[in-house]
Structure 1
Amino acid sequence: MQTRFNPFELRNGAAVVGPFMRDFDFLFQGLAGHTGRHGNSFAPPADIFETEAGLTLQVDLPGHDPKTIEVKVEQGVLTFRSERKAEPNAKENARRLERGFGVYTRSFTLPDTVDATQVEARYEHGVLTLTLPRKEESKPRVIEVKVQG
């Protein structure tokens, strides 16, 4: 008798392709830009908003010391880096550790319309907000229509 393959089928209380599905999910989370560890660094999630004035980028960096946050623009690439350190003796006293610690870094290629010399960074309530203003020549211009006659 032939049976149809069902990846969600349970056998003996366990999914048939459990480990495969976890790996598959992890692969697509990485492609979709979700957070993930790469070596010793961690890429935190970012939200990007566009307005007439330019772009705003917001990144969650809870528990980071603002003094450790470094933002730089070099050759059209915006990069921020920060490090969140574990509490002293955390591993010795912990029963469970789920929060991430280590170096957090992320880079973005800036569009030609951004004025890289005017980038501003603000850290408030665990959120890093980067303001990327438009170049004057890339801002929309309103052209007056002259009426003759």
Structure 2
Amino acid sequence: MLRFDPFSELDVVAQGLLAAGRETGSARSPRFMPMDLYQVDDHYVLTADLPGADPGSIDVDVENGVLTLTGRRTAMPDSGVRWLTSERFSGVYRRQLTLGDSIDTAGIAARYDNGVLTVTIPIAERAKPRRIVVEQGSDEPQCEQLAVESSATDDDARVDVAG
């Protein structure tokens, strides 16, 4: 008895569509840009792997609270080359992260070294934890007493502070 799997046809179509977008010379493409994100004191540190990316092709942008990392690795020219195997990705790496309101976007800095992009993301001053000093009050009221005098017309109204 033959079993029919309607999803197997969809898998074949999906794989074909995904393969059509690859550049020449690449047998596979990464699903995402691998990264680590951690907090140190008053800032976050994001490290992302961009092996073989041209440093001039790397962009770090912030727009509407979204941090976008983009880099490009160009393939070796095909002219005069007979490929035996090609497994290294070439093309565009891209990753987006939504930033919260507690980030100082003007202070974000980035550095690319040995295939790793490091982005420092500072926490905004207003979002940093702080201790609120609670003052002890006295038993006496802290407001001033006001005495209001008025005459028959509103134009002559005056306020005197008695204290």
Cα distance, 1:92 vs. partner? 3.3
TM-score (norm. length: structure 1): 0.66
Residues paired across the two proteins, number: 116
Cα distance, 1:112 vs. partner? 1.2
1:124 aligned to 2:123?
no
Cα distance, 1:93 vs. partner? 2.5
Cα distance, 1:88 vs. partner? 1.2
Percent sequence identity is: 42
**How far apart, in 2, do the equivalents of 1:85 and 1:49 lie?**
30
CA offset digits 1:12-38 (Å, max 9, x no partner): xxxxxxxx8xx8xxxxxxxxxxxx99x
Unmatched 5+ stretches in structure 1? 1-19, 24-35
Contact 1:115 1:135 in 2 (8 A): yes
Cα distance, 1:50 vs. partner? 1.6
**How far apart, in 1, do the equivalents of 2:101 and 2:79 lie?**
45
1:140 aligned to 2:125?
no
Q: RMSD in angstroms over aligned alpha carbons? A: 3.1
Unmatched 5+ stretches in structure 2? 1-7, 12-17, 23-28, 137-163
Aligned to 1:58: 47
- Structure 1: which amino acid aligns with 2:84? R
Counterpart among 97, 101, 110 of residue 108 in structure 1 = 97
Aligned to 1:3: none
Q: How does 1:1-149 map to 2 (within 5 A)?
A: 39=21, 42=30, 43-89=32-78, 92-143=81-132
Q: Against the structure 1 CA distance between its residues 142 and 62, is the aligned structure 2 distance closer, same or farther, given a 3 Å change threshold?
A: same
**How far apart, in 1, do the equivalents of 2:130 and 2:40 lie?**
15
**How far apart, in 2, do the equivalents of 1:86 and 1:108 lie?**
27
Secondary structure, counterpart of 2:126 in structure 1: helix
**How far apart, in 1, do the equivalents of 2:41 and 2:90 lie?**
37
